[in-house]
Structure 1
């Protein structure tokens, strides 16, 4: 039987799992894996820093529902990657990270860049292991892909000792195992549907990471049949068409107070993959856990049910496994049970509120809302600028929002690159603050190298806006540690072979965006008034 080195076995296994591309920062600790990839048509997106590479892999997992794949080297490479793995864990995104490890024969000697990855990543990811035999590499990879996608999805780390990866063994003959589809017993679903039918003030709340366009359509149909308003959790705004008459907005950071009040007054809440956590409930103030309404919870992870708020009825399943049965069980079209008034509250919340300066974020976001193509993918990280996106934009199609529910800065640019590589025909906009963009700004080089023509809109107010907002509230007049120096972003775009636009008045934005939409890498810098700050939290 033919023998292969471990890197070849690894690459062959990735091909069997249908991996479309991998993201990496190269290291000598996994040269055998790079050699294995040489024989496969799996693009290796070479990045500039492991944190950015991990965020690109996470964004790929978010978009596809299949594990994003990441390769990083030992020591500082792995620790740099932890920022993206943290996002994947909090956002429930499937991801498999391969870490080159010191040779197994030298373990526990404190050699160059040695790290105990089980101890380091244990609290941070869903599962972490170290492969100690070359003939078990395929087995570990199969398990990693299964764990990353099962239940509540998440990141997995496999440490690959250099000598194990380069050693030879017989190639495995087995194929990856099948995944068991989720299913729900109609008898378990019946009391949930009856409770929803009897409710006077129901609310449907969509969230989690296991969602599809079919789920979007089914959830909207369920809202129509029940006459209930339908909302989404933090940074899941593309789960429902924001133009749908039953759509009531998002219960994220800086949510519409009227929607928060509606949540608190609901007598029945149907959670479709969503969780009632600190963000959803305004730090647990909108709903009292000791006096919760009827809660109907659909979640793929049994442990997530009744974590803080006691569920009245619950099933451990994906929304897809429940929605079609629910639609088949509900006949006719119910009378309005709050959808119209909730929609009116949402539309009132979207009326722009003026902020200081000649360039205003509310103007830019509402212009994009009214003029961008419906398939435009918008990515962002964290910062005060994000509050304007959450409040004023409308997502019309599933898969057009990429943002970290963990509130991680620096995410927008790597995510935009990953989105453009996966959706080359869709417009992709990275919306970032000046502090947010500079955390991963070196990935502009990755965008150019791999032909990711994206539009970067940077909101430049010369400060860490969210932190300054809280600082001014808590310690007024005592500014410390929140000011920023910025480069000339237009010149920086040109340095990377792109085009730069500096916006100093609202009426300049449309022309810059039109030029950017013609292709190429573009940075549109918004020169904002430093006093321009959102009045709500804006992770």
Structure 2
């Protein structure tokens, strides 16, 4: 039976198991939109292409399969670029469909014409243009496979509007299986020997591949359980804190910006580093200064280990999920090593994650506020971070129950928090999704709360408001003290703003008001199923908490 290429694109997405597409509609892909009309796939209409891309990014992080975004040519593609860059640097599987001008109009500087490969060729795994209507299904299957295999990342598909309406007798094709290398016995034996010989080993976990689309793989919990028995502490890469559950006796904290000074010292002392799902990049190594001389094992699905810098003594090509199915016996990996080293790192992390009042001159004490959030939020909450200093209290004081509970831009892109939390609430409507952002981050994509209202999503948004771009102010004070420039903001009343989206707002000026405000906000998102917002007003002079843990108590 004949069908249009645009409708075949939709049918192939159905065959791939896609449940949602995030889109800002455009006249360049009308036939795909028409195919979605009768499809079981939910079309989530975003208010900005960056929001659509970040929602798709969140879908990928939380489900283990590529997120799908659809935007139009020219300006739409430009707006979506930030999500592609984030997926590229963060190794997140994403497929972006971009409507294009008709084939006959190419090369004439036509309305909204641009070079798809020229724009995306350096920041996507593949750029494919559908010029043959008969290959519509094949191209989609190819893109989904490329986005997920090896080092995951974004794939961009161009859809010329005249090709989409051409008819074809082709049908959907079987999805391509994604291979996952499993370490062989020799590699496992070698790893066991290295671990058994080490006195101070440290695992650094991160990246993607800790869960699967079916929800029946939890590699993080498996790794943590094994690490406890093998007496190997586990730390997380920057904004990959959900790789392992924080309740584990092996959990030792996170590396990267505003990591614990104690953990950084321990990493420098480690005699064996095992990177699983991530590599030694500039952020977790404090600008390539930590752990460069330690014996190093790298476990990555990318045989080129492109994200790793420096020494490699053993390389294992595997995803986190396939690696954890082949771990050596914990007894063999433990050797004669006791638990003193692991326990010391875990104790240091507990001290670091214990809130200590900061007593700001004005506004809310964020250490107290985030300590209360840790206490009151459900254990299975999903945290969606923006970028900037405002997120650092959340990184330090909020824990994770395991993989699939965090979405955050490891590349530092602002504007991720709100769309990611909106999508998280759609993917997991039975869980509380929390956006944690500064005032600058919120206003980059806060308009996606309109999607929450339209789709029945109910995120909790925590906006830390100091009226400045605090991260930049911090750098200015270091390099140009006393000369603030271009970093001040005038903000709306955020609590009132969410009311216009049908949500519940709390304007919080003092620390004493935080607890009750959290309770009312949680009641709104869980019982009334409406979005809620906590507007935490803080002193503009407030800077991130010290990276030193509170003083160690006697006997601890």
State the TM bucket, normalised to the shorter chain: over 0.9
Q: Which residue matches 1:29?
A: 28
What is the distance in 1 between the residues matched to 2:58 and 2:286? 27
SS in 1 for 2:541: coil
Determine whether 1:360 maps to 2:362. no
Q: Does 1:478 align with 2:470?
A: no
Matched, 1:349 2:352: yes
Are residues 264 and 130 of structure 1, via their aligned partners in 2, closer, same or farther at CA, if it must alter by over 3 Å? same
- 1:260 and 2:264 matched: yes
Asked if 1:415 corresponds to 2:420, the answer is yes
Are 2:243 and 1:214 aligned? no
What pairs with 1:128-143 in structure 2 (closer than 5 Å)?
128-143=127-142
Contact 1:92 1:154 in 2 (8 A): yes
Residues 1:531 and 2:522 aligned together: no
- Rounded to whole Å, the distance in 2 between the matches of 1:66 and 1:50 is 20
Deviation at 1:386, TM superposition (A): 1.1
Distance 1:24 1:346, change over 3 A: same
Unaligned regions of 5+ residues in structure 1, if any? none
Structure 1 window deviating more from structure 2 (41-50 vs 267-276): it is: 267-276
Superposition deviation, residue 332 in structure 1: 9.0
Quick one: which of 509, 533, 537 aligns to 1:504? 509
User: 2: distance between equivalents of 1:441 and 1:305?
Assistant: 34
Between the aligned partners of 1:325 and 1:144, the Cα distance in structure 2 is 29
Q: Please, what TM-score do these two structures have when normalized by structure 1?
A: 0.96
What is the aligned residue count?
533
> Equivalent of 2:281, from 277, 280, 292?
277
TM-score of the superposition, structure 2-length normalised? Answer: 0.93
**Displacement of 1:185:** 1.3
Provide, for residues 401-428 of structure 1, a one-character-per-residue CA deviation record: whole Å limited to 9, x for no partner: 1111111111000000000000001011
Match for residue 494 of structure 2? 489
Select between 117-126 and 350-359 the one with higher mean Cα deviation. Answer: 350-359
- Deviation beyond 4 Å, 4+ runs, structure 1: 331-334
Aligned to 1:115: 114
Give the root-mean-square deviation of aligned CA atoms: 1.6
Aligned equivalents of 1:470, 1:320: Cα separation in 2: 39
Instruction: Quote how far apart the aligned CAs of 1:19 are.
Output: 0.3
Q: Which string of whole-angstrom CA distances, capped at 9 and with x for unpartnered residues, describes residues 317-342 of structure 1?
A: 11222223224474596521511111
- Give the alignment of 1:250-399 within 5 angstroms: 250-288=254-292, 292-304=293-305, 307-328=308-329, 330-331=331-332, 335-353=338-356, 354-356=358-360, 357-399=362-404
Change (3 A) 1:358 1:116: closer
Q: Is 2:460–2:531's contact at 8 Å kept on the other side of the alignment?
A: yes
Is residue 98–residue 157 contact of structure 2 (8 Å, CA) maintained in 1?
yes
Q: Which runs of 5+ in 2 are unaligned?
A: 212-216, 548-556
Aligned equivalents of 1:492, 1:329: Cα separation in 2: 53
Alpha-carbon spacing, 1:268–1:393, altered in 2? closer, same or farther (3 Å)? same
Looking at structure 1, the residues matched to 147 and 29 of structure 2 have their Cα atoms a distance apart, in angstroms, of 22
Separation in structure 2 between the aligned mates of residue 177 and residue 359 of structure 1, nearest angstrom: 52
Residue 146 of structure 1 deviates from its aligned partner by: 0.5
* 8 A Cα contact 1:231 1:249, kept in partner: yes
3-state SS of 2:263 partner = helix
8 Å CA contact 2:142–2:176 kept in 1: the answer is no
1:208/1:397 Cα in 2 relative to 1: closer, same or farther (>3 Å)? closer
Q: Helix, strand or coil for the counterpart of 2:444?
A: coil
Q: Contact 2:384 / 2:408 at 8 angstroms: preserved in 1?
A: yes
SS of the residue corresponding to residue 449 of structure 1 reads helix
Aligned counterparts of 1:85 and 1:143: Cα–Cα separation in 2: 18
